[in-house]
Structure 1
Amino acid sequence: MKLEFLFVPTADLGASLALYRDGLGFTELWREGDTTVALALPGCEVQIMLDANDPTAPVGPIFVVESVATFHANRPGALVVVEEPAAIPGGFQVTYREPGGATIQVIDQSTDAASE
């Protein structure tokens, strides 16, 4: 399990991008359509994922695992399922709530690896 992203929902992607990229010096790494942008902070492996799909979604970590299905089947009992595993571009995602109330997303990139 690796911490890959900090998920940051936004109601104004342009303004958020201007802050992180132009104001704070993050580097834009990739985009998915007109709603999602990933940014890197120099010297840090964890990326910020700005997302305008649901501005009310909770901020939280996104962890990458080899297989969402395997992780989900063996997950700690303290993780409450918020969204069941579902396909996303390049793999699968599942969303949990941890005991303190924070949201945790777990993804894999299994379909990306299969197409290489």
Structure 2
Amino acid sequence: MKLAFLCHPTKDMNQSLSYYKEVLGLEEAWREGDHTVALRFTENEEVQLMVEDDEGLVPSGGVFVIEDVNQFYEENQHKLSFIKEPCDIPPGRYAIFQDPDGNPFRIIDMTKNKNISGNLV
């Protein structure tokens, strides 16, 4: 697993973006509609802050890139506590499991961003 994002759920995307941009000085890196926005701390920082309009408000936590969410789920569904089963997102697949204290681990893969040879593009 490679840490890619710190996820902060929000009830009010506009208020959160105003805070992160104007108060903390973060810059927008990308967005998926009005639901998910990633912000960068610095130009060269690999880990970004991902703000999600989350109605269920799963607590803040890391988003980890793995090779294959479906395979991970199949191999671990009976020993880990999944609170969101694998689903499609623009770059691939996404799921959430939690540790015994309820801390979320969001996992994503980039399966939709692979070319014919299997390399990430």
Same fold (TM over 0.5): yes
Divergent runs of 4+, >4 A: none
- Write out per-residue CA displacement over residues 1-30 of structure 1, whole angstroms, 9 at most, x where no aligned residue: 111111111111111111111211111101
C-alpha contact (below 8 Å) 1:61/1:104 kept by paired residues: yes
Give the TM-score normalised by structure 2.
0.83
> Quick one: which amino acid aligns to residue 84 of structure 1?
E
> Quick one: which amino acid aligns to residue 57 of structure 2?
T
Which residue is equivalent to 1:80?
81
> Quick one: which amino acid aligns to residue 30 of structure 1?
W
Which residue is equivalent to 1:98?
99
C-alpha contact (below 8 Å) 2:58/2:104 kept by paired residues: no
Matches within 5 A, 1:34-113: 34-42=34-42, 44-54=45-55, 56-75=57-76, 79-113=80-114
Structure 2 unmatched runs, 5+ = none
C-alpha contact (below 8 Å) 1:9/1:59 kept by paired residues: yes
Instruction: Give the CA RMSD over aligned residues.
Output: 2.1
Distance in structure 2 (CA, Å) of the matches to 1:16 and 1:35: 12
C-alpha contact (below 8 Å) 1:91/1:109 kept by paired residues: yes
Give the TM-score normalised by structure 1.
0.86
% identical equivalent positions? 38
Count, aligned residues: 116
